Amino acid sequence: MNEFSKKEIIDILNDESQNEWLFALADKIRKENVGDEVHLRGLIEFSNICKCQCKYCGLRSPNKNLDRYRILPDEIILYAKKAVDMGYKTIVLQSGEDEFYTKDTMCNIINKIKEMDVALTLSIGEKSYEEYKAFKDVGADRYLIRIETTDKNLYKKMHPNMDFDNRLRCLKDLKKLGYEVGTGCLVGLPEQTVESLADDILFFKEINADMVGIGPFISHPDTPLKDAKNGNFTLALKVMALTRILLKNINIPATTAMETLNPNGRIIALQSGANVVMPNVTSTEYRAKYEIYPNKICINENPSQCRGCIEGKIKSIGRSISKDYGFRKK
């Protein structure tokens, strides 16, 4: 049961009358397979410097209107320590593709954070097998790298100087090295079809992703997609719900981009299949500058405000905050 074909997925995505049933089914499957606990991951966005030119992303290197920053290793470690003291059981390190952080620099940071009794996730883009292996050897547990879209033509248009096959290679290397692997897609990119979204969902299943992050595309004024329409919140939610139905026991975040398009977006996502939230644990000075898209939420809050706010919301819907590391349930 619940093994939808591509055609069935497309039909569900196209049929608005199915929404309530779909969200309720995803919520039920979430409850049966991963329970009512929500895993909080403390997110450190440590550099907004990026060599890539992804058409949708505000961090893209040609964007001259962004005030760039780089948090140095000692300060990253300090933020991690504060987050662990606040109760976070996972730290996520995310950045643009910034070559300042060499293999050795990253290994040092990972080493120090892993002394803190915490799970560690990296989200730092495309690296070589040797680099992924070095990070794993010093203790990194998980890696997030979205495929963004499985439509090869669209991928090519959206990612100048990048290669779809290399993205796949990264996912394959990470699996082979024993990471828990996260991927995901953007929903609502210009020219993206519902058929290709169905392929995205089936791709997550095919590679047996351990985590899947789905977010609506949000148009950024300082990118080539400045005149493009934002993605649709409900469609992104449907892609997420279908992912839960197909991959029952994985971890699925209620993404920040969802909340940017809908003031209650993360809570709605938690009630439609999601079981993870990733609050920001860096200070206010950096948050606004990590502007992958505009109107990011919580940019004026500090880490303890963020934690308090999301904890309150989670409890208000009868869910609890997990006290364990939150690996994929067996």
**Interface ranges with ligand SAH (CB under 6 A):** 56-57, 94, 96-97, 123, 125, 145-146, 148, 186, 215, 217-218, 220, 257, 292-293
Q: What is the DSSP letter of 139?
A: T
Q: Minimum CB separation from ligand SAH for residue 189, in Å?
A: 9
Contacts of 280-283 with CB under 8 Å at 24 or more apart are 280/43, 280/44, 280/45, 280/306, 281/42, 281/43, 281/44, 281/79, 281/80, 281/82, 281/83, 281/86, 281/88, 281/91, 281/306, 282/43, 282/44, 282/45, 282/46, 282/71, 282/79, 283/79
Question: Which residues of the chain form beta strands (DSSP E)?
Answer: 37-40, 42-47, 90-95, 119-123, 142-144, 180-187, 211-216, 276-277, 320-321
In the complex, what is the shortest distance from the CB of residue 315 to ligand SAH, in angstroms, rounded to a whole number? 28
Closest approach of ligand SAH to the CB of residue 217, in Å:
5
Q: Which is nearer to ligand SAH, 64 or 330 (CB)?
A: 64
CB 63, min distance to ligand SAH, A:
11
Identify which of residues 58 and 326 has a Cβ nearer to ligand SAH in the complex: 58
- Residue (56 or 132) nearer to ligand SAH, CB: 56
CB of 70 to ligand SAH, least distance (A): 14
Catalogue the E-assigned strands of 10-71.
37-40, 42-47
Interstrand relation of 90-95 and 119-123 (parallel, antiparallel or unpaired): parallel
Smaller CB separation from ligand SAH, 145 or 242: 145
Looking at beta carbons only, is 215 or 265 nearer to ligand SAH?
215
